A and B are shown apart, each in its own frame.
Chain A
Amino acid sequence: EAGVTQFPSHSVIEKGQTVTLRCDPISGHDNLYWYRRVMGKEIKFLLHFVKESKQDESGMPNNRFLAERTGGTYSTLKVQPAELEDSGVYFCASSQVRSSGWPLSYNEQFFGPGTRLTVL
């Protein structure tokens, strides 16, 4: 079974340009998450989709970031216009929808390899 895939693996752009990151979750996983790790900092949550709906976007830094998940399959994260502080590694993760009574703690998230974004 294929894991979570992300594209591209690396992206180098100039300040002010637009970049779109893509995530393909594990087939059948309705939950899809985006996280980001900025250099020297911890991995931080950005947002959570359940199918095509945004369940929680409390971690999105500002309105330059737009995430979509049309059709509830793959997701894209667009940064427009990119700023220097947007540099970092963007991770996508997916998980199954928890069954009723299934503890939250056992809802394993499977992470992709990340996209390393460098804004010059």
Chain B
Amino acid sequence: TQLLEQSPQFLSIQEGENLTVYCNSSSVFSSLQWYRQEPGEGPVLLVTVVTGGEVKKLKRLTFQFGDARKDSSLHITAAQPGDTGLYLCASPQGGSEKLVFGKGTKLTVNP
């Protein structure tokens, strides 16, 4: 089973700061998904990256897929309190539809 390592585990920053969180694997990803989960809710898909070197932007969020498709990063510019949540990366395992998740990065943005 592919293992997804996320770092950092916890991150607490002030409003307006920039941050980057990471997702790494020893195996090549077929594709990589980023989710955000808020307390009492399920994960919500933010983006899917498929091609090595791919960069996708979603407002102040920038997602990058490593050239070798073994790592990915999520960069948030000018973080806001509404960005607070658990950020998860996940990937379909072995050609199946079951997702393998990382443990997540818990982000807190303080006003």
Contacts and interface: CB of A to CB of B under 8 A. Distances in A.
Given A42-B103, A45-B98, A113 B41 contact: yes
Interface string B24-65: 000000110100000011111100101000000000000000
What class of interface size applies to chain B in its complex with A? 20 to 34
Interface in B67-106: 88, 90, 92-93, 95-104
Contact of A113 (B40, B50, B97, B102): B40
B48 A93 contact: no
Contact of A45 (B42, B100, B103, B104): B100
Given A103-B50, A105-B92, A56 B98 contact: yes
A107 B43 contact: no
A105 B40 contact: no
A35 B40 CA distance: 15
A31 interface: yes
A22 interface: no
Interface residues of A, number: 30
Contact of B88 (A43, A44, A104, A106): A43
Interface string A83-120: 00000000101010000000111111111111000000
Contacts of B93: 45
A81 interface: no
Given A42-B104, A93-B42, A111-B44, A105 B30 contact: yes
Interface of B: 4, 30-31, 33, 40-45, 48, 50, 88, 90, 92-93, 95-104
Given A31-B97, A106-B48, 12 more contacts: A33-B97, A42-B104, A43-B43, A45-B93, A45-B100, A48-B98, A56-B97, A59-B98, A91-B42, A105-B30, A107-B92, A109-B99
